[in-house]
Amino acid sequence: MILNADGSKPIYVQIAEWLEAEILNGNFETDQKVHSQYQLAEIFNINPATAAKGLNILVDENVLYKKRGLGMFVNQGAKEIILRKRKDYTLKKLVLELVEEAARLHVDEEELVNMIRSLGKGDQR
Write the pLDDT tens digit of every residue in 53-105: 999 999 999 999 999 999 999 999 999 999 999 999 888 999 999 999 999 99
Q: Which pLDDT score is estimated for 124?
A: 60
Query: Cα(56)–Cα(12) distance, rounded to whole angstroms?
Result: 9
Query: Cα(121)–Cα(125) distance, rounded to whole angstroms?
Result: 11
C-alpha pair distances (Å), 33 with each of 36, 43, 62, 125? 9, 16, 14, 44
Q: Which pLDDT score is estimated for 83?
A: 96
pTM exceeds cut of 0.85: no
Q: Which pLDDT score is estimated for 19?
A: 97
Give the mean pLDDT of the chain: 93
Q: Which pLDDT score is estimated for 72?
A: 97
